[in-house]
């Protein structure tokens, strides 16, 4: 059946996201919060995250263009950003955040900038993958489409 195929496909997508390190256990926490009252909770959260974090990304970018770099401020921004990424379980993005903060503490401007570029890539990649995932999930319908991970 087409539906079951879609289910399978969705499950595979999901598994890949976890296996490839894009998502971690925290994402499961979000999934568990989803219920009949909030059937699209995870998608809502992710959408909110991307909307809100745009602002932070922008702030960091601006701060990185300054000379000299204000590491304290950068660290503070990144700290905020990291709070969000960890909350949705964006594993790879979070790792980049951690790395970035290390460079900030070390006062390594170049390191910060490099890491930030990497971070943005991961951030955009995850967004694409999750968008595809949610789109498929919506197609399948409000039924429990994803099976528990791992």
Please report which residue ranges of the chain form alpha helices under DSSP H. 2-19, 25-33, 41-65, 71-88, 91-106, 109-140
**Positions in 89-108 near another protein (CB under 8 A):** 89
Q: Which residues contact 116 (CB under 8 A, 6 or more apart)?
A: 60, 61, 64, 96, 100
Token pair belonging to 116: 């930030």
Q: Closer to another protein by CB, 7 or 77: give it.
A: 77
Q: Closer to another protein by CB, 11 or 41: give it.
A: 41
Residue selected from 3, 66, 79, 121 as contacting another protein according to rule CB under 8 A = 79
* DSSP structure string for 79-110: HHHHHHHHHHTBHHHHHHHHHHHHHHHHT-HH
**Would you count residue 147 as binding another protein (CB under 8 A)?**
no
**Would you count residue 33 as binding another protein (CB under 8 A)?**
yes
**Considering the complex, what minimum distance in angstroms separates the CB of residue 121 from another protein?**
21
Point out which residues bind another protein (CB under 8 A).
26, 29-30, 32-33, 35, 38, 41, 44-45, 48-49, 52-53, 76, 79-80, 82-84, 86-89
């Amino acid at each position: 059946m087409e539906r079951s195929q879609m289910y399978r496909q969705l499950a595979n997508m999901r598994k890949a996201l976890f296996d490839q390190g894009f998502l971690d256990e925290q994402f499961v926490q979000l999934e568990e919060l989803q219920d009949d009252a909030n059937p699209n909770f995870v998608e809502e959260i992710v959408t909110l995250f991307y909307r809100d974090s745009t602002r932070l990304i922008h702030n960091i970018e601006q701060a990185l263009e300054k000379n000299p770099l204000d590491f304290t401020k950068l660290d503070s921004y990144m700290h905020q950003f990291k709070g969000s990424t960890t909350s949705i379980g964006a594993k790879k993005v979070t790792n980049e955040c951690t790395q970035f903060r290390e460079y900030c503490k070390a006062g390594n401007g170049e390191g910060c900038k490099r890491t930030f570029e990497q971070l943005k890539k991961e951030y955009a990649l995850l967004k694409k993958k999750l968008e595809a995932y949610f789109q498929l999930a919506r197609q399948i319908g409000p039924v429990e489409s994803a099976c528990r991970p791992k």
